[in-house]
Amino acid sequence: MRYEIKGTPLPVVECQLDMGEAMICEGGSMSWMSPNMDMQTSGGGLGKMFSKAITGESMFLNTYTAMGGPGMIAFASSFPGNILAMQIGPGQEIICQKSSFLACTPGVEFSVFFQRKFGAGLVGGEGFLMQRLSGTGLVFLEVDGSVVEKNLQRGEQLIVDTGYIAMMDGTCSMDVVSVKGVKNALLGGEGFFNTVVTGPGRVMLQTMPAYQVASVIRRFIPVQSK
């Protein structure tokens, strides 16, 4: 499979498949394709369907296979930003934002990743429930805004507003922590919780989370009186 990521600020990844090769995506993710791409819909088993349901993702996946010769299929991002191509393999699993999955090759496995402090995570805001991608294959992720990569050494920590984490290596760990001080939490404008990521591994940060954009736009929408 060969691919090319095109366009800004709303990119698309166009994949060129040999006969018999396939791509997997959620329903509605396909943007355009050649006529010989065959679609099959599946749930991936009850365990996987449950995992996807509690992360807010579609419980069903579509598999597109090139039939009778080479085929082409494209997947466009749903928000201004970037598309990342990530290779998954033994010892190369990743943790990603629940809404970032765009498409992948067969062999990639999906599961739910829980932050360590479950109770804090329940009120920790955007990003509490994340996806663990393992197995073997190529994954395309969509990132809101620009991408900033941080490489953490073993034991090195980074404090992040949870919604800004697009992806991290499976070797990283994550905790939700309370903002210190009642005045800071109530008046600081940063919320009550932050996320602490501990290395070793890569952390991909996104500069324009969709929920932050929505909160800014909301200020300019006039309130309709009844």
pLDDT at 210: 85
Q: Are 44 and 101 in contact (CB under 8 A)?
A: no
Q: How far does the chain reach from its first CA to its final CA, in angstroms?
A: 55
DSSP state of 182: H
> CA–CA separation, 206 vs 167, rounded Å?
9
Does the pLDDT value for residue 118 go beyond 90?
no
pLDDT at 121: 45
Q: Model confidence over 159-210: pLDDT tens digits? A: 998 789 999 999 999 888 776 644 444 444 455 677 899 999 999 999 998 8
Q: Does 191 or 70 have the greater pLDDT score?
A: 70
pLDDT at 40: 94
Two tokens, residue 14: 């166009």
Instruction: Kindly state the helix (H) or strand (E) to which residue 109 belongs, with its residue range.
Output: strand 108-114
Nearest CA to 47 out of 35, 59, 64 is that of 59
> CA–CA separation, 123 vs 175, rounded Å?
13
Could you list the beta-strand ranges (E) of 27-128.
30-33, 37-42, 61-66, 71-76, 81-88, 94-97, 101-104, 108-114
Q: Does 49 or 110 have the greater pLDDT score?
A: 110
Which fold would CATH assign to domain 2-211? Answer: Double-stranded beta-helix (3.60.160)
Residue 107 vs residues 41, 154, 186: alpha-carbon distances, Å: 16, 29, 46
Question: 200: cis peptide before it, omega within 30°?
Answer: yes
Does the pLDDT value for residue 43 go beyond 80?
no
At residue 155 the predicted structure's pLDDT band, cuts being 50, 70 and 90, is: very high
> CA–CA separation, 191 vs 127, rounded Å?
14
Q: Does 44 or 30 have the greater pLDDT score?
A: 30
